[in-house]
Amino acid sequence: MFLAILAVGLFTMAARSVTDPDVWWHLRTGQLMVQQHAVFHADPYSFTRSGQPWVDHEWLSQLVIFGVYRWTSWGGLMGAFALITAAALLVVYLRCPGRPYVAGVMVLLGAFASAPSWGVRPQMLTCLLASLLLLVLERSYQRPRLLWWTPAMMLLWVNLHAGYALGIGLMGTFLIGDALDAAFGFKDGPLVAGRLRSLSLATIACIAVVPLNPYGTAMYSYPLQTLRSPAMQSYIQEWFSPNFHLQRYLPLLAMILLTMAALALSPKRLRPREVLLLCVTMYAALRSVRHAPIYALIAVPILSALVQAYLQERGFAGWLEGKPRPMTTPKALFHAFLLAGVVVFMMARVGYLVRRQSAAEARKFPMAAAAFLSAQHLQGPVLNPYNWGGYLIWKLYPQYRVYVDGRADLYGDAFMNERDAIYYLRRDSWRSLLDQRGIRTVVLPPDAPLVTALAAMTEWQTIYSDKQAVVLTRAKS
């Protein structure tokens, strides 16, 4: 009963409106792949990078996203990705000692800590696969043959998302950690030798299957290019370090602080492998909020073990065991009503989100302005902000091509710096940059610095304005 309530609760937490800036160009790409029966190798959407090589590392995820949307609309997308997110956390629960109570509380803490990164996005598939991979790696100490499932997982992963590199990184970290365990006397030498040999072979096999995707060996270097991009670290919010002044990041801070306290107070001592995994993923989470869910995957089972050992030392062992007690009729009815109430709440929340999807879309994206552009057939090229590019691709392609969208890897650092200079008027050359791109129409938020500058110029005219967006056009010369 506890597990059922936890599962439904996690699903309810994970259900949310479809408002990720990238989901729109994922939908359009999935739609076009279905229509054309081919993946993309060159950019079709922008006028700034038209025809340039494009590694669409999420192509299979996009087919899944569009397929779910095509058959079940927004409610299906919300439900599918809520299920993916909840499944990833339930796998974490299976890896936790101290079930059900301590593990359940720690899983909920991990859920709150990683929730800012949730949504209808391919990254959630990476989160699920990483969670499953950790389960396989940990269970393979007792069942070594489980390691031979990892190449099949990697083959699927590399076609779903470039986050496959995380999987190989986790396997490499386990290799180093197992060697450290042996060096510090935590494992028997001959057994460690066999473990390291099996894990090394499995890792090599996983690396070998990476080119089995539509982009071949380009997928080896793609994740490294993304991680080394200064522009992505500087301009894209999910790559920023967590700002603990914001309420949504306080659960992550709480989990980090609780982990530090538990390490100091718990009688349990961690293995070198666990310390290594914890340090690496904590550093990643503090460097970028995008990596907070990965830190949660590692930290929650470790934190559960530390807290359980601490409580056991203080005489709570009986309570922690969670032994089943005789189920009387009143108890059974109470549990049934409790579970039914949670399920009804889940269904009501999902229904509410489906009904409010249009309002959520209008609140985050220029819905009315996009309809205006479509009706007026304004002269392009059109300049748009980064976060609106995907939405305009979904609404206006092929009538209009975008200036920029969420594929920052395609545009490159130099272009992202140009975009920033134009939007925020950071260089004296921002006018010449507009001219070089031949911009004839601008659709931007009303508070954009560029809007203020253009509105003061006689050659630009405001032809549409609402709370969400302003459309300006340049007078014909």
Query: Do 454 and 472 meet the contact criterion of CB atoms below 8 Å apart?
Result: yes
Residue 210 to residue 212: CA distance in whole angstroms: 5
Q: Higher model confidence: residue 4 or residue 27?
A: 27
The SS3 call for residue 461 is: strand
Segment 168-181, tens digit of pLDDT:
999 999 999 999 99
List, edge to edge, every strand of the sheet that includes 441-444: 382-383, 441-444, 470-474, 460-465
Whether pLDDT at 321 is above 60? no
pLDDT at 339: 86
- The CA–CA distances, whole Å, from 318 to 3, 96, 208, 258 equal 19, 18, 49, 23
| C-alpha dihedral sign at 364, 368, 371, 375 | negative
Chain-centre distance of CA 98, in angstroms?
Answer: 28
Whether pLDDT at 36 is above 70? yes
Q: What is the mean pLDDT of the chain?
A: 92
Residue 382 pairs with which residues in a beta bridge?
441
CA atoms within 13 A on the CB side of 184: 14
Give the residue extent of every domain in the chain: 2-321, 365-474
Closest C-alpha among 127, 159, 157 to residue 55: 159
Residue 352 to residue 52: CA distance in whole angstroms: 42
Segment 336-351, tens digit of pLDDT:
888 888 899 999 999 9
pLDDT at 324: 60
